Amino acid sequence: MTPGGGSIGKSLLLTTQLPFAHWEDVIPDPVLLEALVDRIESPALIVTITGDSYRKKNARRTPGEIASHEPES
């Protein structure tokens, strides 16, 4: 542990479709929510990706369209 209480050499990868601003919708306890966000957000590298996901794009395509774009083995 470091003097600030953090860990050295430990990593956490957290993915969510819910921005921090909306976490209160699923974590109703304000004390717990603030503690979680504090510990995650302060040392974090936050990457925000916008646009449709590949899963959503493929869901709209027909099986023939998907097969025609797959790489050949």
Identify the pLDDT of residue 1: 45
Answer whether residue 71 is part of any domain.
no
Answer whether residue 47 is part of any domain.
yes
Taking all residues of the chain, what is their mean pLDDT, rounded to a whole number? 77
Give the residue-averaged pLDDT of 14-20.
83
Dist. CA 68–CA 44, nearest whole Å: 40
Answer whether residue 9 is part of any domain.
no
Residue predicted with more confidence, 65 or 36? 36
Q: Rank 33-37, 38-42, 47-51 by mean pLDDT and report only the highest.
A: 33-37
Domain residue limits at 46? 20-66
Answer whether residue 15 is part of any domain.
no
Answer whether residue 32 is part of any domain.
yes
Structural domain count, the chain: 1
Dist. CA 44–CA 72, nearest whole Å: 39
pTM of the model: 0.49
Answer whether residue 44 is part of any domain.
yes
Answer whether residue 49 is part of any domain.
yes
Answer whether residue 26 is part of any domain.
yes
